[in-house]
Chain A
Amino acid sequence: GESVGLHLPTLSVQEGDNSIINCAYSNSASDYFIWYKQESGKGPQFIIDIRSNMDKRQGQRVTVLLNKTVKHLSLQIAATQPGDSAVYFCSQGSSYKLIFGSGTRLLVRP
């Protein structure tokens, strides 16, 4: 079946350091992948997406890498800030449906 899984449930980083959140997926037919951030008591918030025909995309302080050979997705956050503390979900989508993984909690130490 389709699944999107994450390697680590919790990631703790020092403020100012870079964070890397990893994700494995199983469905090769997805058209795109999206990273969402979810803060406590809120709905998921879009961070960045990447089309399946790309291997890297950069945003503001964030970079997403896609390795289709090993079905692996990662989110890199540069100079991690306290406001980055949240649960991060990778998701894969095609046409309309998003399939989410179980999430990684990012804790930023002051």
Chain B
Amino acid sequence: DTGVSQDPRHKITKRGQNVTFRCDPISEHNRLYWYRQTLGQGPEFLTYFQNEAQLEKSRLLSDRFSAERPKGSFSTLEIQRTEQGDSAMYLCASSFTSGIEQFFGPGTRLTVL
């Protein structure tokens, strides 16, 4: 399967714990995006990378959130000191720089107890 993959698919954690998610984009894609999706809502943009450079972060991305893409390939999204309000589906997508179609992964569903 050469699509976008995410790991883990599900994560249950206790409030206050740190969690880290991984995204492997389509290998030829320069851009990688992170979105958050809550139940019944559309995905909300969090941040994106052009190769290894993080070029924009949404206001939704508080100081507890950090994303990296160290070698311009896979990316990680870490949430520190998780809160119940962080419970959501975290989606990763990738695209070509010049392409408008973003290819989404299956998401990581986070539940904070």
Chain A residues with a Cβ under 8 A of chain B = 4, 31-32, 34, 36, 41-46, 49, 89, 91, 93, 96-103
Contact = CB atoms under 8 A, between A and B. Distances in A.
Contacts of B4: 43
Contacts of A98: 33, 43, 45, 102
Given A43-B91, A103-B41, A96 B56 contact: yes
Q: For the complex of A and B, list the 9 residue pairs with the smallest distance between their C-beta atoms, beginning with the closest.
A: A100-B42, A43-B104, A89-B42, A44-B104, A46-B101, A100-B43, A43-B106, A97-B45, A102-B41
B105 interface: yes
Nearest to A103: B42
Interface residues of B, number: 22
Interface of B: 4, 31, 33, 40-45, 48, 55-56, 91, 93, 100-107
Nearest to A94: B100
B66 to A, nearest CB: 19
A41 B45 contact: no
B48 A96 contact: yes
B40 A102 contact: yes
A44 B101 contact: no
A46 B56 contact: no
Contacts of A96: 31, 33, 48, 55-56
